[in-house]
Amino acid sequence: MESNKNSVQEKKSNLTLDSRKKLILTGVIEVLSFDDEKILLNTCLGMLTIRGQNLKMNKLDVQNGDVVIVGMIASLVYSGGGTGSQKKDGILAKLFR
């Protein structure tokens, strides 16, 4: 499983939004939470929050890092500069210097 995460993290992330109704993502490491109004993803570029209405995941391929989301997409917000685990390691490393 760890090798799959590493292979996804080495890839670039692409995001394609079609008429605010279909979102195609690559570089997804894991799905943290989802419901019909909010989806939270950990990507190789940081945490991605997707908000909208009637959101559904049509395709989820975690091994390749591909996700397709349909519904009325209102916003896409990235937070953080990398994966969550990289950020935690950085904080811990600073504390133990």
For 46-72, the pLDDT digits (tens) are 999 999 999 999 999 988 999 999 999
With vertex at residue 75, the alpha carbon angle to CA 73 and CA 81, rounded to the nearest 5 degrees, is 130
Distance from C-alpha of 73 to C-alpha of 6, rounded to nearest angstrom: 29
In the chain, where the domains are located: 14-79
Each residue's pLDDT tens digit, 20-31: 999 999 999 999
Confidence bin at 89 (pLDDT 50/70/90): low
Tokens representing 11 are 């890839």
Tokens representing 29 are 């490491």
Name the CATH architecture for the domain at 14-79: Sandwich (2.60)
| Of 36, 87, 44, 35, residue with least CA distance to 65 | 44
Tokens representing 80 are 């953080």
pTM higher than 0.75 for the full model?
no
The SS3 call for residue 27 is coil
- Strands (E) across the chain are located at 15-18, 22-25, 28-34, 38-43, 46-61, 66-79
